[in-house]
Amino acid sequence: MSNNTNPQHVPLAERMRPVTLKDYVGQEHLVGNNSVLRKMIDNGNISSFILWGPPGVGKTTLARIISKMLDRPFYTLSAVDSGVKEVRAIIEKSKENTLFSSKTPILFIDEIHRFSKSQQDALLGAVESGIITLIGATTENPSFEVISPLLSRCQVFVLKELSAKDLNILINKAISQDQILKKMDIEVREYEALLRFSGGDARKLFNIIEIIVSGFSAGEKIIITNDLVKSKLQENIALYDKNGEQHYDIISAFIKSIRGSDPNGAVYWMARMIAGGEDPLFIARRMVILAAEDIGLANPNALLLAQSCFSAVNEIGMPEGRIPLSETAIFLATCRKSNSAYMAIDSALANVRENGDLPVPLHLRNAPTKLMKDLGYSEGYKYAHSYEGNFADLEFLPEELSGTVFYDPGKNRRENEIRKILSSHWDKYGYDK
């Protein structure tokens, strides 16, 4: 923070941003003594890496601290505001720096998952040749969002949500050390609501504290309780929402609106996300998951449309991408619902965890060698297409699980037909009951 900047105009989260690892709270598995990243920093020889974790856990702060500790030139780009032109400009500037200094510049890219393939391609050569050391930050799985050639040249470090212990440290630090808050008479009597509403996000925690103290007069005693936190957040919901702080709450409302078959709620919450700058591919990806989880076999076309929406948005971008997003959300909301496929796989996984690796019945085993045939592998197997109705009555589960039902068809028109077919084949599963 500049000496000329009025601290009243600087958010608490920025005022409390640590500048050394000593003040950095959380992520002990990365920056604690003898951790991999800490050893790299202490040796002064870091390679390109990506920090993957939820919002407000210290990704940007950690990148800044590392650059300061290593005394490296530090450039930063936001994937939301930058394009290929800005990437190439920084690469050229880095080339000039390396002519006069042996210290490789660090390029920090926030929300790297929003970089297009062409933007990531523009980075690749500079990372490969060592012109820059890349530090990327993302809230999304980099395996899906970062191109393979770039990802293969970066280590991935996973940051965790801040624990209750970490958040308590931050609360007490802010009250006792912040140049504004320490002048106030603040007492925290209850921490539960502060921790719950912050959701492991330090930035959100500091925003909440600012909201709470803003309503008190100078010199007034401030006693923070769970009820005070709840009431203040309800009064200041618009402030609490700024800059997408309720990212997870809004995507939850969106998903639940579709699951609850309300297209109006779905479109409204989608609009909130789009207006707030949410990554449209994040929205599309969630609809792919929802189509399989909540609609499933009631209308298998839902998954096809959701996948097509993801591809369309990826290809055409925004603002036009809002149209297939809206079409898909409305379609999914108005579909019949079934979670039978979701329940089936979870039930089967629970059984596997409970019963372990049960042997495959001999008649279902492959028998590519004579020895396997002699041992009875594949003996008794019936090829379904050789029988009437393309069905042969066989046992397809381990003996210990015979008759166990994992898939229970939902009560919708399509799965009612599936139930009729299954009941005509399988007496032991009780599908006709």
Residue range(s) of every CATH 1.20.272.10 domain in the chain = 246-334
Q: Which CATH class is domain 27-158?
A: alpha beta
Q: Highest mean pLDDT range out of 280-294, 364-378, 402-416? A: 280-294
Q: Which residues face 186 on adjacent strands? A: 222
CB-side neighbour CA atoms (13 Å) of 334: 9
Locate all alpha helices (DSSP H) within 80-152, ordered by sequence. Answer: 84-100, 117-129, 142-145, 148-151
- Which pLDDT value is given to residue 243? 45
Position 80 scores a pLDDT of 65
64-82 residue pLDDT tens: 998 888 888 888 887 666 6
Q: Check residue 5 and give its pLDDT.
A: 52
* DSSP-derived 3-state class of residue 69: helix
Q: 3-class DSSP state for residue 138?
A: strand
Mean pLDDT over 133-144 rounds to 84
pLDDT, one tens digit per residue, over 333-390 is 999 999 999 999 999 988 888 888 888 888 888 877 777 777 787 888 888 888 888 8
What distance lies between CA 344 and its chain's CA centroid?
24
In this predicted structure, what is the pLDDT of residue 120? 81
Distance separating alpha carbons of residues 97 and 71, to the nearest angstrom: 13
Average pLDDT for residues 213-217, to the nearest whole number?
Answer: 79
> Hey, what's the torsion of the CAs at 207, 210, 211, 212, to 10 degrees?
120
- In the chain, list all ranges with CATH 1.10.8: 164-243
Considering just the CA atoms, what is the radius of gyration of the chain in Å? 28
Question: What is d(CA 247, CA 275) in angstroms, rounded to the nearest whole number?
Answer: 12
Q: What pLDDT score was predicted for residue 326?
A: 95
Q: How does pLDDT run across 10-58, given as a tens digit for each residue?
A: 788 888 888 888 888 888 888 888 888 888 888 888 888 889 888 888 8
Q: What is the mean pLDDT of residues 408-420?
A: 86
The Cα 396–Cα 332 span in angstroms is 34
SS3 175: helix
DSSP 428: T
Amino acid identity, position 65: I
Structure-block tokens of residue 266: 């779905």
Cis amide bond preceding 319, omega within 30: yes
Task: Pick 164-243's CATH classification: 1.10.287, 1.20.58, 3.30.70, 1.10.8.
Answer: 1.10.8
Q: Please, are residues 265 and 257 in contact by the beta-carbon 8 Å criterion?
A: yes
Question: What is the spatial distance between Cα 165 and Cα 401, in angstroms, rounded to a whole number?
Answer: 45
Instruction: Please give the Cα distance from 239 to 142 (Å, whole number).
Output: 31
Question: Does the structural domain 246-334 have CATH classification 1.20.272.10?
Answer: yes
Output the CA torsion 131→115→138→267 (10° steps).
170
245: confidence class by pLDDT, cuts 50, 70, 90: very low
pLDDT of residue 242 exceeding 50, the answer is no
Q: Which of 300, 256, 301 is nearest to 410 (CA)?
A: 300
pLDDT top residue among 260 and 130? 260
Element at 107 (helix H, strand E): strand 106-110
Q: How confident is the model at residue 183 (pLDDT cuts 50, 70, 90)?
A: confident
What pLDDT, on the 0 to 100 scale, is given for residue 100?
Answer: 57
pLDDT computed for residue 12 by the predictor = 87
What pLDDT band is residue 244 in, cutting at 50, 70 and 90? very low
The confidence score (pLDDT) of residue 6 equals 54
pLDDT of residue 109 exceeding 50: yes
> Residues 6 or more apart from 244 whose CB is under 8 A from it?
276, 277, 278
Q: Each residue of 290-340: pLDDT tens digit?
A: 999 999 999 999 999 999 999 999 888 888 889 999 999 999 999 999 999
Pair of tokens at residue 189? 């009597």
* CA separation for the pair 274, 140 (Å, rounded): 17
Pick 299 or 395 by higher pLDDT: 299
Decide if 280 contacts 313 (C-beta within 8 A): yes
Confidence band for 433, pLDDT divided at 50, 70 and 90:
low
Distance CA 412, CA 346 (A): 21
240-255: b or e for each residue (b if 16 or more CB lie within 10 Å)? beeeebbbeebbebbb
Q: Can you name the residues that pair with 135 across neighbouring β-strands?
A: 49, 108
Amino acid 102: pLDDT:
66
